[in-house]
Each structure stands twice: as C-alpha cells, then as structure tokens.
Amino acid sequence: MKTAGMPLRVVRGEGALLHLDDGRKIIDCISSWWVTLHGHGNKQIADAIHEQAQQLEQVIFAGFTHEPAEQLAKGLLELLPRSLTRVFFSDNGSTSVEVALKMAFQYWRNVGEPQRTRFIGFEGGYHGDTMGAMSAGGSSSFWQHFRKLMFDIDVVPFPETWDGDPDVEAKEAASINALRKLLTLDGSGGLQPAANGTGGLQPAFAGIIIEPLIQGAAGMRMCRPEFLRKLRAVADEFSVLLIFDEVMTGFGRTGDWFASTKADVSPDIICLSKGITGGFLPLSVTVCAERIYDAFLSDKLEHALFHSHSYTANPIACAAANASMKLLIETQSRFRDMEATHRRLTQKHLSDSPLLTHFRFCGTIAAFDLAEGQANYYSELPAKLRSKFIEQNLLLRPLGNTIYLLPPYCIDADTLDSVYATIRRTVDEGVSSTKIGTGGRQSALS
Ligand SMILES: *Cc1c(COP(=O)(O)O)cnc(C)c1O
C-alpha cells in the first residue's frame, strides 16, 4: 500500500471497456486478470444470473443437487476429452488445484500404493495461492516466506518456446529426460521403501502437474502441443497421474475449447476456473477420469474424498457458467480466429522492432519480450510501462519483461489494431527514456 499508486475507480464495464468515475474509458487488454470472456456487462449472462437469483440462490450441495449444476456438468463433459467423466465443484482456481492434489494423493492410498506421495511440477509453474497450490508451484520466488509450511515437490524444466525457436526439440528432450530420470525405478529419487516392509523399493510419485501449452503467471511461456503428447506418454509409462491445470487456458483461451483438446491429450485430472462463468462469478471444477472416481467408490467412509466448501456449486454461479457456455458455443469463431488477428497485427506493428523479441501466440493470447538487457522484473521499466499504458487508456500488465495481450473475445479488430499501435509507440518511448540496469530474463507474477 505504501508504494502502490492509487487504484482506479471503475463504475461500469461494457464489452472490452472499463468506464472510470472520472469519465475515462480503459481498454481491458488482459480480461481483468484472465477471467472475462465475452466482455464486461454481457446481457445474456447478467439475465441468467438475475433469473437464477430469484429461483434458487444457494443450497447445501451435500445430499442435494440442482438443475444448473447438473446442466453445467453435462455441458462440460461434452466438450472435455472423453476420458474425463466425473465433475467435482469448488469455488476458485486455487481450490480446484487443492482438490486435484488431494484426489491424486488419496487415489494411490485407496488403490493400495500409499507410498506414492510425491508430485512433479514444472519450473515457473503457477497453480494458485493456497498452501497446496503454492507447493505445486514451488519454484516461484514469491513464496519464500512460506517455505516451511509448503510440501516439497520435484521440478523439471518447462520447454518454453516461441516463433522460430531452433532449440525447441532439444528443450523438450531435456525436459522429458529430467522427468524420466526422476521416475525411473533405478534412479534414487523415484523410489520409496515398500510399504509392505519387504525391503523392496516402490514408485514414489503420485502425479505430475502442468499448466498445459501456456504458463501464465511465469510470463505467458508457451510450449508445443507435441510436448504434452510426450508428457502423456511418460506419465503412462510410469503410471503416474497427469494433472492439467487449465484454470487459465480453459474455455477458448488457446483458440480451442481447452489446451487438452487443442493438443489432443487427455489428462487424468483437469482443473478449470477463471473463464468458467464468463468472468462474472467465482466458480471452479476439478474433473477426473472414471478410474479415479472408481477408487473412491466404496462402502468404507475412509475411502471418500473429504472436501467441500460452503458455496460449492452455487446455483447462481452455475447459471452464469451455463449462459457463458451457450454463448461460447454460438460465438466460437471469435476465439478460434483471434490468433490470426494477433499475428497480422504483430507483423504490422511490432515485428520489426529491435526492442522486442520472442514473439509467441496461442489462440487469444499474444506475448513478446523486451529484448535481452532492456529490462528485468526488478528494474523500473515494467512498472513504468504499466503506468504509461494506463495513461493511454490501456489495461496491460507486463509480467517481468514480457508484454502480453489476453483480451476478451468480443474485442474488435480495429480496437486491437489501435492497441498494438499504442504498444509500439509506448515501448519505443519508454525504452528510450529509461535508464535501466542489465539483467536476463526473469519470470515473475505481479
Ligand atoms: C489464476 C490461476 C490459478 C488460481 O486461481 P484463483 O482463482 O486465482 O485462485 C491457478 N492456476 C492457474 C494456471 C492460474 O492461472
């Protein structure tokens, strides 16, 4: 609070625009932290919320169910990879990850392999701010104060890539090799003494968790769909569960319904939140494969998954999600076509800039970095750029030295064109007027 500027006061939202109380209009180029899909103030979703609120605002979801939740579960299963069959509701991205971790962990206990207690994550991974989610994203420096409260995970490199990257195959191989090394039975890390006391060794890993195709908070770091297929093969070979945290990548962000459908890879567990209600209300789901559900299906209470929240499957949030899904189905071309627009406008405004590098695209998301030595997270440039953008009525929040666009799907090409033109001008002016330290690439959440 001491060093932050005064927050801007928003009185109304409309499409891609945020109206401030001083009359200014800001273009929301990051979908208000990645949640808004159809734009602000969407009437169909607002109407659905209004209607549901008068019908049934909330009900305990233990021993009770309701139409909006059932409809949402059915709708989701139609769009998700076929192998995902069971839906568990919670109420934000972090909790959907907590549920996934608990599910994977207890799954192995229920099937008689309780020594499988460890998880593997990726360098730069971000999975939320609650304890388990922080642990799963353990490589971030943001949680140094909480280390002693977090559980330990193993981390492998994320094969981050961009347009024209000649090293992508090598990076993927390095990542897969690191994984195999951890998981291989004769490597020391992958084994625990057998639970049956025979003195033998058994596999130690319960699951692998990844943000598929794009690590968001780490700076919109992208990997290829091919990598996810290789990852699936390794998980199968060593029988570890594969968890896709699609909290950010779900619902059209990647240009397809989900990163998993885009890459044609089925995880064992998937986490969805952020865009699920179109950005209107908090809600999340953790969806799993039938064999995981089966491992909990028992006469013994101790086999059950003990996890619930007061607002689990809130009917108003579910109604918003159903309205949003309907809209998404009707307007699919918007999220499917946006990558071509990003590419065209990058070509037109940015690609000849010597200050920018590592252009990368995935569906509705475009990202690029300030060239090496121009800035790093702790230098003043990113913060300066952020306020320069706001001065020009753009909501953009550079992550470290990465500038990215992640707009609501309703944004039109002319507006995007003006956004790109402003970015170019601002970067040129910002870099030339800032004395900055050197420093390499930094990944950071801010
Ligand atoms: C935002 C995010 C989360 C956490 O979601 P919250 O709703 O903010 O708790 C988890 N995983 C990923 C990939 C995210 O982008």
Q: What is the pLDDT of residue 170?
A: 98
- Residue 391, classified by CB atoms within 10 Å of its CB into exposed (0-12), middle (13-18) or buried (19+), is exposed
Q: Both 349 and 289 in a single domain?
A: no
Give buried/exposed letters for 3-26 (b at 16+ CB in 10 A, else e).
Answer: eeeeeeeeeebebbbbbeeeeeeb
Clarify whether residues 74 and 88 are in a common domain.
yes
- Domain assignment present for residue 3? The answer is no
Please classify residue 180 by burial: count the beta carbons closer than 10 Å to its beta carbon, then call 0-12 exposed, 13-18 middle and 19+ buried.
middle
The DSSP letter of residue 100 is H
**How far is Cα 82 from Cα 79, in angstroms, rounded to an integer?**
8
Ligand 1 centre to CA of 253 (Å) is: 14
Tell me if 211 CB under 6 Å of ligand 1: yes
Choose one of 329, 346, 367: the last residue of a domain: 329
- Give pLDDT, residue 429: 87
Which residue range is the domain that position 368 belongs to?
A: 10-38+333-445
Whole-number pLDDT of residue 436: 45
Position 4 in a domain: no
282 and 306 together in one domain: yes
- Token duo for residue 325: 């899904």
Domains: count for the chain: 2
Residue 301 Cα, ligand 1 centroid: separation in angstroms? 31
- Do both 190 and 66 map to the same domain? yes
Q: Please check whether residues 58 and 158 belong to one and the same domain.
A: yes
pLDDT computed for residue 434 by the predictor = 57
To the nearest 10 degrees (0 to 180), the angle between helices 43-55 and 315-330 is: 150
CA 103/CA 34 separation, integer angstroms? 26
- The string of DSSP codes covering 229-278 is HHHHHHHHHTT-EEEEE-TTTTTTTTSSS-HHHHHT---SEEEE-GGGGT
- Cα of 356 vs centre of ligand 1, distance in Å, is 28
**Is 79 part of any domain?**
yes
CATH number of the domain residue 171 falls in: 3.40.640.10
Amino acid (one-letter) located at 129:
D
Stated pTM of the model: 0.94
Ligand 1 atom at minimal distance to the Cα of residue 284: 7
The answer, yes or no, to whether any atom of ligand 1 lies below 6 A from the CB of 401, is: no
265 and 385 belong to one structural domain: no
Query: Within this chain, do residues 219 and 258 fall inside the same structural domain, yes or no?
Result: yes
C-beta separation of 202 from 112 below 8 A:
no
Closest CA to 280 of 216, 333, 313, 323: 323
CA-CA distance, 48 to 327, in Å (whole number)? 12
Could you give the residue ranges of the DSSP H alpha helices within 331-412?
Answer: 332-349, 381-391
Q: Which pair of tokens denotes residue 242?
A: 């594969």
**Pocket flag, ligand 1, residue 96 (CB < 6 Å):** no
Same domain (yes/no): 315, 360: no
pLDDT at position 205: 96
* Per-residue pLDDT tens digits of the chain, which is 446 residues long: 898 888 999 999 999 999 999 999 999 999 999 999 999 999 999 999 999 999 999 999 999 999 999 999 999 999 999 999 999 999 999 999 999 999 999 999 999 999 999 999 999 999 999 999 999 997 776 778 898 999 999 999 999 999 999 999 999 999 999 999 999 865 445 566 555 566 667 889 999 999 999 999 999 999 999 999 999 999 999 999 999 999 999 999 999 999 999 999 999 999 999 999 999 999 999 999 999 999 999 999 999 999 999 999 999 999 999 999 999 999 999 999 999 999 999 999 999 999 999 999 999 999 999 987 665 555 677 788 899 999 999 999 999 899 999 999 999 999 999 999 999 999 988 776 654 433 334 433 33
* pLDDT at residue number 194: 59
The residue among 307, 329, 351 that closes a domain is: 329
Same-domain check for residues 323 and 347: no
Can you list the alpha helix ranges (DSSP code H) found in 365-412?
A: 381-391
Confidence (pLDDT) at 7: 94
Chain centroid offset of residue 3 CA = 28
Residue nearest (by alpha carbon) to ligand 1 atom 7: 93
First-to-last alpha carbon distance for the chain, in angstroms, is: 14
Look up tokens 């069959």; give the residue. Answer: 85
Residue whose CA is at the smallest distance from ligand 1 atom 6 = 93
Burial state string for 298-329 with b = 16 or more CB within 10 A and e = fewer than 16: eeeeeeebeeeeebbbbbbbbbbbbbbbebbe
Return the bridge partners of 244, or none.
210, 270
212 lines ligand 1 (CB under 6 A): no
Does one domain contain both 24 and 85? no
- Of 329, 348, 377, which residue is a domain's last? 329
**What is the pLDDT at residue 197?**
60
404 lines ligand 1 (CB under 6 A): no
Whether residue 208 lies inside any domain: the answer is: yes
Distance CA 354, CA 429 (A): 13
| Ligand 1 and 245: CB distance under 6 A | yes
Q: Is residue 2 part of a domain?
A: no
Is 24 in the same domain as 159?
no
Q: Is the CB of 374 under 6 A from ligand 1?
A: no
Beta strands in 131-234 (DSSP E): 154-156, 191-193, 201-203, 205-210, 214-215, 221-222
Beta partners for residue 271, in sequence order: 245, 286
Same domain for 147 and 112? Answer: yes
